[in-house]
Amino acid sequence: MTNIIVNPIDKIINGTGRNDTLMGLDGNDILFGLRGNDVLIGGNGNDTLNGGSESDLLNGGNGNDRLNGEAGNDTLIGGRGNDFLNGGNGNDRLNGGDGRDTIIGGLGNDSIDGGTGDDMLQGDDGRDTLIGGRDNDIIGGGSGNDTLWGGDGRDTLMGGRNKDMVNGGLGNDLLNGDRDNDTLIGGRGNDTLNGNEDNDVLFGDGSSRLFALTDNNRLVSFDSDRPDRVSSIAVTGINGNLVGVDFRPGTGALFGVTDANQVYTININTGVATLVSSNPIPFTLNGNSFGVDFNPTPDRIRVVSDAEQNIRLNPNTGGIALNPDGTQAIDVPLAYAAGDRNAGIIPDIVGAAYTNSVAPSPDPTRRTTLTILMQN
């Protein structure tokens, strides 16, 4: 690795073609990473940072900066000031930081966070995740199945082409699904939702619709502001009995797991279940009582039981999930910690829930905690 520091007088610096670290310090600098996995730091001043052809880290620092990731899977951080960020090709991570920023994901599956300030976010092509953050943002998904989250403030969100998940978050927002079958959730505040073309699902979300599962395969639901009005619908089309259900944070779809070792999606309006089966790796449930909940960070279904079972399921295949090394996601059995007064006793589990299990998802940066509910 080569470290290159630009003094306040220098204006343009090029990398060596290897893995370089370029630091601009004071002044209005122009940095070119060229080839290699480079680190470019603008420092003070209005800087222009160009990553080059590999996977680079660009940090604008203070000032109104322009960051171009170009090719590769890049990380762009605007820092303070009104910045312009363009990820270019590749699966990029972009964060505007403070100020009024303009952020474009470019080609690839990008993750974009506007940070604070009134920002403009554009996903472009690919399956993108866009988070407005604080203040009043304008967010466009572009092409691809995108997830848009307004955050705080009066936001304008436009899904674009393909099937998008659009959530206004807090504030009085304008949501536009555009083409294809989109899901729009207003969030808190006085929101305007326009589905436009195709078959869209719209939720104003002034109050929340709450769902529960009975022991005879029925969904019970009610609005949070009218708990006295309860409705019930039978779940049909499944093999066996449901042991747990949960909504997938990234899509809003309801998933169910049965004691016949199968995963289904469930239509909350009709109760009709559809088997998820895409070359699944089979799993076998053990126990009489289960906890089922989506982990919002990797977008996997956690299943725990009163027989110490602790596994992860893939909602895309309907089977056991795989770890990065290709091994099956069968985790260590659940047990009380050594020294606990219940140590040596099998936990009598009746439920499970993750914190922050809300859209957008998956998000590798999100912190979440699994809570297990047990009975005496």
pLDDT tens column, 181-190: 788 887 777 7
Taking 60 as the threshold, does the pLDDT of residue 72 lie above it?
yes
Under DSSP, the state recorded for 98 is: S
Query: Helices (H), strands (E): how many in the chain?
Result: 0, 36
Tokens of 259: 């004691």
pLDDT value at position 200?
A: 61
Taking 60 as the threshold, does the pLDDT of residue 322 lie above it?
yes
Under DSSP, the state recorded for 130 is: E
Average pLDDT, the chain: 85
Tokens of 170: 């807090």
Taking 60 as the threshold, does the pLDDT of residue 207 lie above it?
no
Taking 80 as the threshold, does the pLDDT of residue 104 lie above it?
yes
pLDDT band at 232 (very low <50, low <70, confident <90, very high): very high
Name the 3-class secondary structure at 325. Answer: coil
What percentage of the chain exceeds 90 in pLDDT?
A: 43
Taking 60 as the threshold, does the pLDDT of residue 299 lie above it?
yes
Record the pTM. 0.55
- Candidate ranges 41-45, 301-305, 333-337, 361-365; pick with highest mean pLDDT: 301-305
- Candidate ranges 2-6, 150-154, 241-245, 328-332; pick with highest mean pLDDT: 241-245
What percentage of the chain exceeds 70 in pLDDT?
A: 88
Taking 70 as the threshold, does the pLDDT of residue 106 lie above it?
yes
Q: Which residues, 6 or more positions from 77, have their beta carbon under 8 angstroms from its beta carbon?
A: 57, 58, 59, 60, 67, 94, 95, 97
Beta-carbon-side half-sphere exposure of residue 187 (alpha carbons within 13 Å):
24
Backbone angles phi and psi of 245, in degrees to 5: -135, 155
pLDDT value at position 133?
A: 86
pLDDT value at position 349?
A: 80
Q: Measure CA of the first residue to CA of the last residue in the chain; give whole Å.
A: 58
Taking 80 as the threshold, does the pLDDT of residue 2 lie above it?
no
Tokens of 162: 């393909």
Q: Distance between CA 267 and CA 212 in Å, rounded?
A: 14
* Parallel, antiparallel or unpaired: strands 300-305 and 201-203: unpaired
Q: For the chain, what is the radius of gyration of the CA atoms?
A: 24
**Mean local confidence (pLDDT), 124-134:** 88
Q: Which residues, 6 or more positions from 177, have their beta carbon under 8 angstroms from its beta carbon?
A: 159, 164, 166, 184, 194, 195, 196, 197, 200
Residue with more model confidence, 35 or 371: 35
Taking 90 as the threshold, does the pLDDT of residue 333 lie above it?
no
